[in-house]
Amino acid sequence: MPVVLGTLLALISVAVIAYPFFGSKRYRMVSERFITRELSRAERLRIYRKISDIDADFTSGDLTEADYQQQRDMLRVSAAEILRQESGASSSNSARDEELEKEISRLREQSAQPPEGGDPLR
Amino acid sequence: MADLGVMALLLGLALSAYSAVGSIIGEKRGMAELVVSARRALYMTTLAAAVASGALINAFVQNDFSIKYVADHSNTLMDRAFVWVAFYAGNEGSLLYILLTLSIITALSVWFAPKRLARSMPWTIAILAVIQLFYFGVLAFVASPFELLGTVPGDGRGINPLLTHPGMFSHPPLLMGGLIAITIPFAFVSGAMIAGNYGDDWIDVARVSAIISWGVLGTGMLLGAWWAYTILGWGGYWAWDPIENVALMPWLVMTAFIHSVMVQKRRGMFRMWNVALLNIAFVLAQLGMFINRGGPVVSVHSFAASTLGVIFLIFMLASLVFAFALFLWRMPEMKSDRAMESFISREASFLINNFLFLSVMAVTLWGVLFPLFSDLARDVSVSVSAPYFDRANGPVLLGIVIMMGIGPLLPWRKSSARSLKQWFMWPTLVGVLTIVVLVALGVQRPVAILAFGVVAFVATAISEEWWRGTAARHQAGDNWLLAWWRLVNGNRPRHGGYIVHISILMLGLGIIGTNFYQQRTDGALSLGESLVIDNYRIEYVGNGDESRRDRIAQWAEMSVYRIDTNDYSTEIAVARDEGLSGFTLENSEVRPNDELIAQIQPWHGFYPDFNMASVRSGIRSTIVEDLYVIPRDFLADGRISLAVSINPLAWWLWASGPFFILGTMVALWPQSSVERRSKHQKVPAAPDDNEGEL
Ligand code: HEM
Ligand code: HEM
């Protein structure tokens, strides 16, 4: 009995690992395009997160106003640039800007930060 | 069942070898099917490990004593619930448990790996597969739990009596699991390094997997300490035993890592540091495996030395060479985006942190390795004892706690942002005030007083930050509790971290109290006699026998009284003159004012089959101090020999546990659903890109 089970296990394993070679689905190595898209999406998310992080830092007084504005502007520019590349030239500047602000404010709401920004304690 | 187990192990061996080789060749030659197939093979190893484990557990359940491991670690008397414990009670089974854990978390982490890591995944998979290959190989050929006995005994030897406790359901699995789980962040980072993915794409996976393994390891250590203290009556909770050290070292380095990685995330700095820290943690985890699997250091845990030790030593050295060769190869690419701007900044505090944690690790490592080297060199056994560790690590640990107060108050980049004076004023004031009050109260021990001051400083710093954030939200209309919760929820990694910091402060209180202010005495009591220590009187009022087939066991009934020391001033004076911290009393000498505050039942057992004694201490615990009574022995003349101590603040050691776990979970709780949401976002994708990509 154990030998039968063991053999069965081996057969299943062989079937599972052989399937990609014989199955109908075709695989390709990761393409440049795919990676570029994934990376740019990841980068964009990372920028959103960074913006919400520095919002929080500014709120809690971990960043000066000047630093904060400067970093935020830089991050926004990079995010907009990425969005532009992702969507091609199809959408207008203002639509992208709107998209960007929406993402950021959604993040901020989630963080339940007081909306005005700035250190509420000073 | 033994056949099935062996077959599953051999199958797992073949699958993991195939997975490693297939993944690398597939990636190098651009053979997509092979890469996919190799990944599937890695999933199948989980099934193989599960079947092997199932076969062993089944053999325990069936009392199949033809299998040596089963006969060695259980018998028909054993409560069936302990099958789970017996499973990892010895070398072979615990290796199988480690492999099972590794294969499960491997499968999960590969399955859930973010797509953007697609290019480095074949390498990550190859590394994971090689590590599994090692374990399958060891289990199949060197330490098989399925080895058969020539003659089948009628009954097994039974489970090690120290293990027949509910605590054993969690402590060993957590520690072994925590140590092996360090493999995951290591494999992801190394995979990214090989693939030339030096960016920050691996950060999130590494952070999450690192915090999970770190949290599990930390919880396991705390449980082990709690168990040694509360259940086993070892009198202490941390002995700087090699096995404890090998769990502590990777934990310390991982603590440095989870802080250091924040700098990379926020500021694009410390890349080399972070990779190096993970490498070190991984190699230290392998050191732990080596020392525990038949390494040369004798410890309560370690299994008899064997060829296994050599094999694990080689594997550890191989991981060391691999990790650091990879590091040196990729080092030129791991530049920081920018340089440190000021030494009074958050990033600088994390840099100091890295050094502090590494130095505690190094001191501890030296303490573990020195006896080995001197053994080899001079053929004499030297052991490094607790005072070495205490003296060398104590000040640095205090430094770490100080930094824990300072770091979070410093802003990123440079310190112009926050008015530092304003932020440091309260913590400093409270810290200094604490010291002044303690001195004024006549508390002894300057070092401990300083340490209390530091704890107060850090606690105030955290409270201050919480107070300000909560007050702001309270003003906006939330009630206090909700306001605090919103604050925490708004930035879970940070506030989860603070909760963990609080747990470390609690641990700190316990460590200071027990290390600096412990009082001890010992004595032997006949029925009716009492032992007095400080303002406690412990009276021996009764006893009972609990011997069973496998043990000779007795317990004592003791009443604990609070005494007014003025009532006993003459006896106390005599004892003090003799340099004793306690004394015994006849029944007739007892004063009537004593107030009964507790009953305790210390227990003492001896297991002849294992030639092993085991005790359960009697403890009366309050948040101020523990009265701790260890029954050393029941003497032939009817007396009981006791070791008694008062352990100030010991309660805080264990109270820290829930906070540690809570804080870790808060920090880990998925931050937001941006990622998920963004998947539905309408970024036009080329349609042919969606199918069949790896
Ligand atoms: C501070 C306290 C403790 C620490 C830091 C600690 C550390 C560890 C570590 C690192 C492991 C995993 C080793 C490995 O297999 O790789 C382990 C396992 C284990 N510990 Fe502890 N331990 C502590 C206390 C205790 C105590 C008091 C006992 C009781 C005698 C105990 C019994 C065990 C057992 C039975 C295992 C499983 C052995 C194995 O299969 O590896 N531990 N502990
Ligand atoms: C044994 C000691 C320590 C433990 C166990 C510990 C634990 C933690 C944990 C688990 C987190 C959350 C990390 C995350 O979510 O990614 C955290 C955050 C943090 N820790 Fe520690 N920590 C320790 C010491 C220190 C020290 C010495 C410093 C001083 C520099 C420090 C500063 C911080 C800061 C500033 C954060 C929050 C960062 C943020 O998100 O704003 N910690 N800590």
Burial class (CB within 10 angstroms; exposed 0-12, middle 13-18, buried 19+) of B41: buried
Query: Do the Cβ atoms of B694 and A113 come within 8 Å?
Result: no
* CB atoms inside a 10 Å sphere around CB B388: 16
Burial B399-419 (b: 16+ CB within 10 A, else e): bbbbbbbbbbbbbbbbbebbe
Most confident range, picked from A28-42, A53-67, B10-24: B10-24
Residue with token string 């948040």: B623
**Given CA atoms B492, B498, B499, B503 in this order, what sign does their dihedral have?**
positive
- SS3 labels along B389-418: HHHHHHHHHHHHHHHHHHHHHCCCCCCCCC
Kindly report which listed range (A33-42, A69-78, B561-570) carries the lowest average pLDDT score. Answer: A33-42
Shortest CB distance from A53 goes to which of B48, B266, B683? B266
Query: Do the Cβ atoms of B37 and A18 come within 8 Å?
Result: yes
Q: How far is the CA of A97 from the centre of ligand 1 (A)?
A: 56
Give the pLDDT of residue B332.
86
Give the pLDDT of residue A110.
53
Tokens of B280: 């070190």
- B480-490 helix and B492-517 helix, angle to the nearest 10 degrees: 100
Give the pLDDT of residue B548.
85
B674-691 residue pLDDT tens: 444 444 443 333 333 333
Residue whose C-alpha is closest to residue B642's, from B613, B605, B617: B617
- Which of chain A's residues have a Cβ under 8 Å away from the Cβ of B4? 2-3, 5-6
Residue in chain B closest to A39 (alpha carbons) equals B116
The residue among B188 and A71 whose pLDDT is bigger is B188
B171 lines ligand 1 (CB under 6 A): yes
**Residue B404 is which amino acid?**
M
Q: What are phi and psi of B643, to 5 degrees?
A: -120, 125
- Segments of chain B scoring below 70 in pLDDT: 294-306, 375-383, 415-419, 671-694
Burial class (CB within 10 angstroms; exposed 0-12, middle 13-18, buried 19+) of A81: middle
Q: How many helices (H) and strands (E) does chain A have?
A: 4, 0
Q: Which own/partner contact pairs does B596-601 have at CB distance under 8 Å and 24+ positions apart?
A: B596/B559, B596/B560, B596/B561, B597/B560, B597/B561, B597/B562, B598/B559, B598/B560, B598/B627, B599/B557, B599/B558, B599/B559, B599/B560, B600/B538, B600/B558, B600/B560, B600/B629, B601/B555, B601/B556, B601/B557, B601/B558
User: Bridge partners of B148?
Assistant: B67
d(CA B47, CA B339): 48
Query: Do the Cβ atoms of A120 and B472 come within 8 Å?
Result: yes
Q: List, in order, residues 6 or more apart from B599 with CB less than 8 Å away.
A: B557, B558, B559, B560
Tokens of B95: 């290796």
First to last CA, chain A: 76
Task: Write down the pTM of the prediction.
Answer: 0.89
Chain-wide mean pLDDT for chain B?
89
B228 lines ligand 1 (CB under 6 A): yes
B176 lines ligand 1 (CB under 6 A): yes
- Which ligand gives the minimal distance to the CA of B229? 1
Atom 21 of ligand 1, nearest CA residue: B224
What DSSP string runs through A33-45?
A: HHHHHHHHHHHHH
Q: List, in order, residues 6 or more apart from B636 with CB less than 8 Å away.
A: none
Residue with token string 């002849």: B608
Rg of chain B over all Cα atoms, to the nearest angstrom: 28
d(CA B69, CA B157): 10
Atom 25 of ligand 2, nearest CA residue: B404
Which atom of ligand 2 is closest in space to residue B400's alpha carbon?
27
Atom 10 of ligand 2, nearest CA residue: B497
Give Cα B501 distance to the centre of its chain. Answer: 16
- Which ligand gives the minimal distance to the CA of B614? 1
- Which of chain A's residues have a Cβ under 8 Å away from the Cβ of B417? 61-64, 67
Atom 30 of ligand 2, nearest CA residue: B407
- Which of chain B's residues have a Cβ under 8 Å away from the Cβ of A19? 37, 40
Give the pLDDT of residue B382.
65
What interface predicted TM-score (ipTM) does this complex get? 0.78
The residue among B539 and A47 whose pLDDT is bigger is B539
Query: Do the Cβ atoms of B119 and A35 come within 8 Å?
Result: yes
Residues A121/A76, Cβ–Cβ less than 8 Å: no
Q: Pick the residue of B6, B35, B36 with the most A CBs within 10 A to test the interface with A by mutation.
A: B36
Give the pLDDT of residue A106.
65
B63 to chain A, closest Cα gap in Å? 17
Q: Pick the residue of B413, B426, B475 with the most A CBs within 10 A to test the interface with A by mutation.
A: B413
Give Cα B485 distance to the centre of its chain. Answer: 28
Q: How many helices (H) and strands (E) does chain B have?
A: 21, 11
B287 lines ligand 1 (CB under 6 A): no
pLDDT over 90 at A80, yes or no? no
Give the pLDDT of residue B21.
97
Query: Do the Cβ atoms of B692 and A33 come within 8 Å?
Result: no
- Which of chain B's residues have a Cβ under 8 Å away from the Cβ of A44? 678
B162 lines ligand 1 (CB under 6 A): yes
Best probe residue, ligand 2, of B253, B418, B500 (max atoms within 8 Å of C-beta): B500
d(CA A91, CA A43): 20
A45 to chain B, closest Cα gap in Å? 7
- ∠ Cα B24 B27 B29 (to 5°): 105
Query: Do the Cβ atoms of B490 and A113 come within 8 Å?
Result: yes
Q: In chain B, how long is the greatest CA-to-CA distance?
A: 95
B243 lines ligand 1 (CB under 6 A): yes
Best probe residue, ligand 1, of B243, B293, B299, B654 (max atoms within 8 Å of C-beta): B243
B292 lines ligand 1 (CB under 6 A): yes
**Residue B471 is which amino acid?**
A
The SS3 assignment for B37 reads: helix
Q: How far is the CA of B496 from the centre of ligand 2 (A)?
A: 9
